[in-house]
Amino acid sequence: MTGRNRRDRGDGGIDTRGENRHRLRWRVGGKRHSKTFKGSLNEARRELRRLLKSADDDQHVAPDQTLIADYLLTWISGDPNLSPKTRERYKQLAERQIVPHLGKIPLQKLRPLQISDWHNALLKTGIAARTVGHAHRVLHRGLERALKLDEILLRSVAHSVTPPKVQGAEVEILTAEQVSEVLHKIGDHPLYAIVQFALTTGMRRGEICGLALRNLSLDTGKVKVERSLEETESGLRIKSPKTRHGYRAIVLPNATVEAMREHCRRQLEQRLRLGLGKPCPNDLVFSLPDGSPYPPDKLSRDWGNLVRDRKLPQVMFHALRHSHASALIAAGIDIVAISRRLGHSSPAITLRIYAHLFDSKSDDQAASAIDKAFGS
């Protein structure tokens, strides 16, 4: 029978606090310990047996002695809610930025001053404030989990410390003249179609690499963004957009439609030469010559080589997306429409990223608009 305050016999016990939520209690060396556990009652029993066995094997670590390194790395490696890419990034930040400085401190003994000193130590080694902020958020999220889920902390000290302020940096863009120069210089290169597509849709690198033929309609001149190709240490995987705003339909300029018709024609010819047959709707729009997925990191490397070989403006592939946004802003397109086309979850994000491009517009335009509205 299950229910509140159910107790198992032996050196420990289980209190059921709700559906799939239990409180584990056990005693080691006369000292009582407890922790919250999420899962079925049978899973809670297995966890309790594991804890008791660790005590029998002299390998028990009391919750109040759990080190920051052990807790963070265990959480990051086992949390099913973290995507592979996020887990990879969190693990990297924990191992490189957090553990070397705070890893040996017991979770419950961490103090705000130690976090502040940690920030300063990272900055003194030349690590960017943005990276320090990312590492701080990993620590903060881990402490929040220890507080709210595992209930082995009374408070999260990360709340008390603000990460270093990041100085705003203008994003890299290509001017209209540079865009024309780039497209002219690479007209005979295999990357031409994908570069033009990136410049005229503003899609992210992973979204372009993960685009299926079924989501590209050249008859209607539209492309549907429904997924992206993600590259992690364990390989490539298709993933869905993070938010509902990532799902969107983008209207293609006529020039891009014609360029894509030519790209698809050449792609078909190449497939037939290799004996791959005609592509199916789930095949990728942009792929390697053998039809396999185009790894996003390889695309960035190939773009870098192209920039060097053709003496193009020194910008990263992601700058093509920024250049698209810049062109829309320069054309006076509504910020909400720009945000939707880019797949941002909020126009506020668009404004934050491209604020300097809006600021560059003359204030005379605002004055002229007011004059016109009031009939001056």
In this structure, are 287 and 184 located in the same domain? yes
Structural domain containing residue 121: 68-160
Taking residues 81-105, report their average pLDDT: 95
Domain count, the chain: 3
Backbone phi, then psi, for 132, in 5-degree steps?
A: -60, -40
Establish if 21 belongs to a structural domain.
yes
In this structure, are 21 and 150 located in the same domain? no
In this structure, are 22 and 154 located in the same domain? no
By percentage, how much of the chain surpasses pLDDT 70?
A: 89
The residue ranking higher by pLDDT, 152 or 70, is 70
pLDDT tens-digit readout, 288-309: 999 999 999 999 999 999 999 9
CATH code for the domain of 238: 1.10.443.10
**Mean pLDDT for all residues in the chain:** 87
In this structure, are 294 and 188 located in the same domain? yes
| Across 31-35, 233-237, 263-267, least confident range | 31-35
According to the model, what pLDDT value does residue 44 have?
A: 87
In this structure, are 198 and 130 located in the same domain? no
pLDDT tens-digit readout, 342-363: 999 999 999 988 887 876 554 5
- To the question of pTM greater than 0.75 for the whole model, the response is no
Q: Is the pLDDT of residue 1 over 80?
A: no
What residues form DSSP beta bridges with 35? 24
In this structure, are 232 and 355 located in the same domain? yes
Under the banding of pLDDT at 50, 70 and 90, the label for residue 234 is confident
Establish if 231 belongs to a structural domain.
yes
In this structure, are 153 and 36 located in the same domain? no
pLDDT tens-digit readout, 169-202: 678 899 999 999 999 999 999 999 999 999 999 9
In this structure, are 116 and 241 located in the same domain? no
CATH code for the domain of 152: 1.10.150.130
The residue ranking higher by pLDDT, 218 or 51, is 218
Taking residues 8-26, report their average pLDDT: 78
pLDDT tens-digit readout, 44-91: 888 888 878 776 666 555 556 789 999 999 999 988 889 888 999 999
**End residue of a domain, out of 160, 185, 210:** 160
Under a CB-based contact definition with an 8 Å cutoff, are residues 204 and 299 in contact?
Answer: no
